[in-house]
Amino acid sequence: NDTAQTPENKMASATAKSQWIHDVETDFHEKTKDDDTNCYIDVDASRFPLRGKNYLSDRKKFPSEEAAFKLVCSKCFRTDYKLPNAVDSIDSLQKFLDDNSDKEYFIQTWLVPGHFTVVSLYERTLERGKDAVFDRLYDKFRYGDPIFQKERFKFIPEIIDAPWAIKKTVQILSGSIRPVLLSKRLKTSFHNGKNYFEVSVDTGSSYAVGMAASTMVKSFAKIVANLSFLVEGRDEQELPERVIAAHSFSKVDVKSVGIRLLKISSSTSCSSTET
């Protein structure tokens, strides 16, 4: 079964009106039917249990409120080199952000063995002021120092459908299928621009994780997985937690959907930190 078949895993189409268009496109697209492949879709954040308002005293978790950012699209690129980060490397993404300078974006990038780069672009749909706790914590994360960013960036994977061996591989990647502070396991860089914040994770920065990631790349076409990202809340002023962004990948053959990127863009538009 994949994600569209269970009522508790509600999914919604991306709400952003603007679309990121690259000069070359492949069959990596938004999911339209249950058995669709080579696709992505926004996922209802309520399927992820997060720390509640009184977590420090009762240790209880509750379904997340709606994610603050909604998926615009995902794209996969293949290069002869490792991209330093997506925005400063992909002209079409820079243009999209410049053309939509009145909006706020979150970008999550995976650097995958084989020089694949998977970029997911999200647009903020949560109006500022509606969740003061989230606003404060997210801004502290976005504008904070590298130590804070590294210690607080949390990733929650959920494998919906995959061969048994791949499920075991995910345990290597995430320390079991539960929330993980990803930056403590993998080299992660944070890039803050005028209207965006990008988190780039290098899955090849750890030998063990790199080997696991290589195995997953070969089997992506058999995997349906939900991914969510958030900032870990650690005191009463930072709780309850809320998902920044979440989406699903369904049976993606990265070799067939990877867009060949021949050169790195020469422009720079952000401040960056690495951990």
Cα gap 155→110, rounded to integer Å: 12
Please report the pLDDT score of residue 145 as a whole number: 94
Mean pLDDT of 140-149: 96
Distances (CA, A) of 128 to 44, 79, 85, 96, 218: 20, 37, 27, 22, 41
pTM above 0.75, yes or no: yes
Facing residues of 39 across strands? 29, 250
- Grade residue 5 by pLDDT with cuts at 50, 70 and 90: very low
> Phi and psi at residue 102, in whole multiples of 5°?
-85, 0
Mean pLDDT of 103-114: 92
Whether the per-residue pLDDT at 211 is higher than 80: the answer is no
Cα first-last separation, the chain: 37
CB-CB neighbours of 58 under 10 Å: 9
> Phi and psi at residue 145, in whole multiples of 5°?
-80, 165
pLDDT digits (tens, 9 = 90+) for 225-237: 899 999 999 999 9
Residues of the chain by 3-state class (helix, strand, coil), percent to 5: 25, 30, 40
Mean pLDDT of 194-208: 86
Helix (H, G, I), strand (E, B) or coil at 15: coil
Percent of the chain with pLDDT over 90: 58
Whether the per-residue pLDDT at 7 is higher than 60: the answer is no
pLDDT digits (tens, 9 = 90+) for 75-84: 999 998 888 8
